[in-house]
Each structure stands twice: as structure tokens, then as C-alpha cells.
Amino acid sequence: MSVAGTRPKLIATDLDGTIVADYGIISERTLAAFKKAHEMGIEIFFVTGRPPRWMAEIRESFGFGNAICANGAMLYDLINAKVIEQWLIPVDVQMEVVDRLRKTIAGVNFAVEFDRHFHREKNYNARWDIGVDNVGVDFIEELMTEPAFKMLVRCGNGEYTSDQMLEIAQKELNGIVTVTHSNATDSLLEISAAGVSKGETLAKMAARAGLGPDDCVSFGDNPNDFSMLSWAGRSWAMSDGHPDAPKYSKFIAEPHQQDGVAKIIEQLLELPA
């Protein structure tokens, strides 16, 4: 497809499933497209559900750009590996979330993240953080001692998909926290403070730079991206992403493993400023 309009002043992209393949590779074409955009003076924002400890490979691969981590809960200095600003879940709210979800979703187990810490319950299957917390506790409430940038909820029995869990949790936790997920085939929820999302934090950062939705483009694939796909004036959902993503984006990009984002950026850079 061809793109229209003027060259964007800000490009925001999700990472995993959008520009990072399932096996952790970022293609040379994608790296080149972002590098050229950066050299042309376009602000680059990597907007991800990842915590800071998972950002080293992005820093090493690109060597430039801004980062919004933990689904909008954290503005992160990618190059200097420093947290600039955070929007956290208070301890009492964490406790309420656990209490409500234990009652409404059978078989849930919890993990919580704050500062550089990742803590989990013993029955929480830490698929991507193996080794970070080898011990675990019987009940996560024991470790809910500080405001957290993210809570994670996993259904150990596999009875629910992430979409099914999300439907229940959004009703149960409406107005208390923001609930989303980044993997439709898993049984995992990601929770942030009320009002915190990728789109909300991206909008704040753009406003600080004097930019609005029409100056920005965004790319994403899963429910945690829907807010920034909705906000940006031009946005692309990955065609191999969540089936609901096109409802929130303006356009659809080719699959991430076919350099869908890079192909769009290449066209965007040909537009007049």
C-alpha cells in the first residue's frame, strides 16, 4: 500500500511481534529504516511492555531513540539506561487487585515488578524471567511492599486464554487499574496503574515536544498497543497480530517477519516534510 500526507515528526513502535521477531531478531532492513528516520530528525519512541532489564538488546541494536517501558508506566532513558519518570500502582491497590482476581479467575498466580526487582509466587511460571527470581513465595502479598510499575497475572491451569482473562478483569477492575495483555495465545495479563497506557504516555511525551496526533505514527500488534494505535493520526496494525488490532488502527501493515514496519517507514520518509 502507498502512504499519503506529510512526513511524520515522531515514529512510535511496539517491539515484540512488531519489529522484533519471535526469535529475537531485528532485520537489517528494519534497522536501516529507523536509522534513516533518526538521521532525518524524526523522534523515535520504542513503546513496549518490556521492563528496563530487557532493553539492553534494543540499545545495542539501535544506539538511539527514546523508550516507554512497562506499557506506559515508565519513561526510560534508553541510551543511559536510567528511569526518568514512573507512574506506579500503590500498594493498597495491588492488594485489592489480587483479592478481586483470586475471587473471579480460578487458578491465578501473580508476579510484581518494582525498581529492578521481579517477584513471583511459586506457582507463577516465569517463562521469560527464568533465573531472576528462582525462589518465589507462597502468596505475592508478602512482597507487595512498594509501589509497582507492573503486576502480572498468569493462569496456571490454562483454563483461560489471555482474551478471556482480560474480559473478566476489565469488568472487575474498572477504574482501579489498567488491564491489558500482549499475547493472545497465552494465559497472561499485564496490569498498570489507573489511566496508564502506551497511548496515554506517548501522548504526554509528544505534547512535551509540541506535537499532536497528526504529527505522529504508531505501529503495534496486541491489546497493549491499541491505545497508541487509536491515538496516533496514522497508525498501522500488524496483519499477523491480534485479530482486533485493525479496529483501533487506521491501516494494516504486512507481517512483522516480512518487514512490515520498515516498508511503511521507507514510504513515510519519501513524503514532503
Q: How confident is the model at residue 159 (pLDDT cuts 50, 70, 90)?
A: confident
> Where does CATH 3.40.50.1000 sit in the chain?
10-86+197-268
Residue 6: CB atoms within 10 Å: 11
> Where does CATH 3.30.1240.10 sit in the chain?
91-193
> What CATH number was assigned to the domain covering residues 10-86+197-268?
3.40.50.1000
Q: How confident is the model at residue 24 (pLDDT cuts 50, 70, 90)?
A: confident
Average pLDDT over residues 62-83: 97
With a cut of 70, say whether residue 128 has pLDDT above it: no
User: CA 137 to CA 205: how far, in whole Å?
Assistant: 37
Q: How confident is the model at residue 156 (pLDDT cuts 50, 70, 90)?
A: confident
Q: What is the pLDDT of residue 95?
A: 98
Phi-psi region of 212 (alpha: psi -120 to 50; beta: other; left: phi over 0): beta
Q: What is the pLDDT of residue 130?
A: 54
pTM score of the predicted model? 0.96
Average pLDDT over residues 146-154: 97
CATH topology assigned to domain 91-193: 3.30.1240
Q: What is the pLDDT of residue 244?
A: 97
